A = this chain, B = another copy of it.
Amino acid sequence: MVTGCQDPHRLSVLGLLLCVLSPSVAHAAKLLLVPIDGSHWLSMLGLIQQLQQRGHEIVVLAPDASVFIKEGASYTLRKYPVPFQRKEVEESFIALGRNFFENAPFLQRMVTTYKKVKKDSALLLSGCSHLLHNKDVMASLAEAGFDAVLTDPFLPCGSIVARYLALPAVYFLNALPCSMDSKATQCPSPLSYVPRILTVSSDRMSFLQRVKNALVALMENFLCDVVYSPYASLASEVLQRDMSVQELMSSASVWLLRGDFVKDYPRPIMPNMVFVGGINCLHRNPLSPEFEAYVNASGEHGIVVFSLGSMVSEIPEKKAMEIADALGKIPQTVLWRYTGSRPSNLAKNTILVKWLPQNDLLGHPKTRAFITHSGSHGIYEGICNGVPMVMLPLFGDQMDNAKRIETRGAGVTLNVLEMTSDDLANALKTVINDKSYKENIMRLSSLHKDRPVEPLDLAVFWVEFVMRHKGAPHLRPAAHDLTWYQYHSLDVIGFLLAIVLTVAFVTFKCCAFAWGKCFGKKGRVKKAHKSKVH
Residue positions of A touching B, CB distance < 8 A: 13-14, 16-18, 21, 25, 187-188, 190-193, 203-204, 207, 210-211, 214-215, 261-262, 265-272, 446-447, 450, 452-453, 457-458, 461-462, 465, 468-469, 474-479, 481-482, 486-489, 491-493, 495-496
A101 to B479, CA, bound (A): 38
What's the least CB distance linking A23 to chain B, in Å? 14
Chain B: CB-nearest residue to A488: B192
Q: Helix, strand, loop or mixed for chain A's interface?
A: helix
Bound complex: CA A516 to CA B489 (Å)? 46
Q: Which residues of B contact A21 (CB under 8 A)?
A: 13
Residues of chain B contacted by A447 (CB below 8 angstroms): 469, 474
Complex A-B: 5 CB contacts under 8 Å: A14-B17, A192-B487, A211-B495, A452-B452, A452-B462
Enumerate chain B residues within 8 angstroms of A482, measured Cβ to Cβ.
192-193
Interfacial chain B residues near A458, Cβ < 8 Å: 452
Residues in B neighbouring A18, C-beta threshold 8 A:
13
Write out the residue numbers on chain B whose beta carbons fall within 8 Å of the beta carbon of A461.
Answer: 452
- Contact check, A491 vs B262: say whether CB atoms are below 8 A apart: no
Q: How far is the CA of A190 from the CA of B214 in the complex (A)?
A: 20
Judge whether A266 and B188 touch: CB under 8 Å: no
Q: A447-B469, A465-B450 are in contact. Are A266 and B492 (CB under 8 A)?
A: no
CA separation between A261 and B496, bound complex, in Å?
31
List chain B residues, Cβ under 8 A from A14.
13-14, 17, 452-453
Q: Please tell me if the beta carbons of B475 and A261 are within 8 angstroms of each other in the complex.
A: yes
How far is B450's CA from A527's CA once the two chains are assembled, in angstroms?
A: 85
With A18-B13, A478-B203 already in contact, the answer to whether A492 and B193 are too (CB < 8 A) is no
Given known contacts A210-B489, A491-B207, A492-B207, A266 and B477 CB-to-CB distance under 8 angstroms: yes
Q: How far is the CA of A446 from the CA of B482 in the complex (A)?
A: 29
Tell me the bound Cα distance from A469 to B16 in angstroms: 24
- Write the chain B residue with the least CB distance to A191: B489
Among A188, A215, A492, the one with the most B-chain Cβ atoms within 10 Å of its Cβ is: A492
The listed residue (B265, B457, B474) touching A477 by CB distance below 8 A is: B265
B271 and A489 form a contact (CB under 8 A):
no
Which of B261, B450, B453, B477 is the one whose CB lies under 8 Å from A271?
Answer: B261
Q: Is the pair B489, A192 in contact by a Cβ cutoff of 8 Å?
A: yes
New A-B pairs, 5, CB < 8 Å, besides A187-B268, A190-B488, A266-B270 = A210-B492, A214-B493, A215-B496, A261-B474, A265-B477
The answer to whether A269 and B271 touch (CB under 8 A), given A207-B492, A488-B192, is: yes
**Option from B203, B270, B474, B493 in Cβ contact (under 8 Å) with A262:** B474
Residues of chain B with a CB closer than 8 A to A486's CB = 192, 210
